[in-house]
Amino acid sequence: MIEQSGRRERKKAATRQKIADTALRLFLERGYDAVGIRDVAAEADVAVTTVFAHFASKEALVFERDQDFEQHLTRAVTDRPPHEPLIPALHREVQALVRHCTAEGSAPVRRMIEGSPALREYEESMSLRHAQALAAALTADPHLSRSATVCRATARFVIDAYALACRADDPGATVDEVFRMIKAAWEATAP
């Protein structure tokens, strides 16, 4: 139970990756709704129960890197140099995340997500979790000294900026425009 030495972990990670890769490939080939979990399992040559041992739901197969996103965001807050102002740090990080999700290769995936109500709904609820994690990071920052409400609201605003930019015609400009609003909102709460 303490610190496995390799092979098991590697095999598990390999299985997980194989499932995720197979799923994404099938989804893009035939459409999300046209591919069943049983199809994914068969093609990846694992049992259906194994799929659910690695992913909590069918939608989760599409958002495999979800955890990374949350970490990047919270670390933009927690790992920034001391006394560096908060909003520019978040602004930069959101720009980077948006660039990542509107990159060349991501277009088909985005189209698939927008085309499926189930995936859109799942993405929304993911965003809510990210907002909560970010709110926690803001609340914990000793330099900020804002109320919990302000931290929660700011976190949601930042996630809104990301969500809007991902779907906008000019993602970069959208992030900038929304962050001008966030900056004003934040500064209006100065203690």
Partner DNA sequence: AAGATAGCCCTAACCGTTAGGATTTCACAA
Partner DNA sequence: TTGTGAAATCCTAACGGTTAGGGCTATCTT
Q: Name the residues that contact DNA, by CB under 7 A.
A: 1-9, 11-12, 15, 35-38, 45-50, 52-54, 56-59
Instruction: State the residues that interact with a second copy by CB under 8 A.
Output: 120-122, 124-125, 128, 147, 149-150, 152-154, 156-157, 160-161, 163-164, 168, 173-174, 177-178, 180-189
Q: How far apart are CA 147 and CA 151, in angstroms?
A: 6
Q: Which is nearer to a second copy, 48 or 173 (CB)?
A: 173
Selection from DNA, a second copy, none that 12 binds (CB < 5 to 8 A by kind) is DNA
**Can you give the length of the chain in residues?**
191
- The tokens for 36 are 């069943």
Selection from a second copy, DNA, none that 80 binds (CB < 5 to 8 A by kind) is none
Q: How far apart are CA 67 and CA 74, in angstroms?
A: 11
Q: Note whether 130 and 93 are within 8 A (CB).
A: no
Q: Note whether 129 and 138 are within 8 A (CB).
A: no
Distance of CA 63 to the CA centre of its chain: 8
Q: Which is nearer to DNA, 67 or 145 (CB)?
A: 67
Q: State the nearest-atom distance from the C-beta of 170 to a second copy, in Å.
A: 9
